Amino acid sequence: AQTVTQSQPEMSVQEAETVTLSCTYDTSESNYYLFWYKQPPSRQMILVIRQEAYKQQNATENRFSVNFQKAAKSFSLKISDSQLGDTAMYFCAFMTSGGGADGLTFGKGTHLIIQP
Amino acid sequence: KAGVTQTPRYLIKTRGQQVTLSCSPISGHRSVSWYQQTPGQGLQFLFEYFSETQRNKGNFPGRFSGRQFSNSRSEMNVSTLELGDSALYLCASSLDRGGYNSPLHFGNGTRLTVT
């Protein structure tokens, strides 16, 4: 079974700063997908960024980028020029490529607070 | 395009009762997945339906069941409710199975409280 660990329960930074959220995972699979989801107070989970394990290039979506270290099983999220609207719970998630038999496996989440 | 719609948003039930939650996926999406979110266990996969068939199931007792209709709408049923079933139940839809090639789109969830 896969496990996802987010070691930072809560983080707080000032607006416009850069922040990095940590995620490590454990799997014996070689092909899989990694995701970062954001859950604001509205409760809706929103996909922030995804990474295919077979791609060495780190994924980037505007102010969001990842540092994917496959050997270390590490998948951190960097948010540049943070904005008040980035305040939310952030979940790291894992899915195998074999049909997603176990669905998404989520970490416990990091509560990110952006201070004005 | 309308997003994933879950009804009701809030529900209060008594132990021993049963409950049915509804999820309408984004138009054209054929896969619907359900997740349970609790403070203690976090987010856990319940099951996935695709083309009216349950494709995958998480580690939950048989009291948790679901179905998908021909229009891809899905319902989730929990029978003989227990206090521990109190949770936010999230539904997600995607074009194809699995949610890795086509991303999962989540609804706002149904907050179930069992008393």
Provide the token pair at A36. 């970062």
Residues from chain A that touch B39, judged by Cβ atoms under 8 A, are none
Which range has the worst mean pLDDT, A14-23, A48-57, B84-93, B100-109? B100-109
C-alpha B4: how far from its chain's center?
Answer: 11
Residue B43 binned pLDDT confidence (cut-offs 50, 70, 90):
very high
Q: How many residues does chain A have?
A: 116
Provide the token pair at B91. 């539904």
Query: Hey, how many other C-beta atoms are within 10 angstroms of the C-beta on A50?
Result: 20
Judge whether A2 is closer than 8 Å to chain B, CB to CB: no
Residue B100 has pLDDT above 80, yes or no: no
Task: Identify the closest residue of chain B to A51 by CA–CA distance.
Answer: B100
Residue with tokens 């996802």: A4
Separation of alpha carbons A40 and A37, rounded Å: 10
Buried b (16+ CB within 10 A) or exposed e, A68-100: beeeebebbbbbeebeeebbbbbbbbbbbbeeb
> Per residue in B103-113, pLDDT tens?
899 999 999 99
- Averaged confidence pLDDT in chain A: 93
Q: What is the pLDDT of residue B101?
A: 74
Separation of alpha carbons B69 and B49, rounded Å: 10
Q: What is the pLDDT of residue A101?
A: 67
Burial class (CB in 10 A: 0-12, 13-18, 19+), A58: middle
Three-state SS across B25-80?
A: CCCCCCEEEEEEEECCCEEEEEEEEECCEEEEECCCCCCEEEEECCCCCEEEEECC
Residue B62 has pLDDT above 80, yes or no: yes
Which range has the worst mean pLDDT, A58-72, A97-111, B39-53? A97-111
Chain A: give the shortest CA distance to residue B66, in Å. Answer: 15
Size of interface A-B (CB pairs under 8 A): 64
Residue A42 binned pLDDT confidence (cut-offs 50, 70, 90):
confident
Within the 53-92 window of chain A, which residues sit less than 8 Å (CB to CB) from chain B?
A: 91
Judge whether B60 is closer than 8 Å to chain A, CB to CB: no
Helix (H, G, I), strand (E, B) or coil at B20: strand
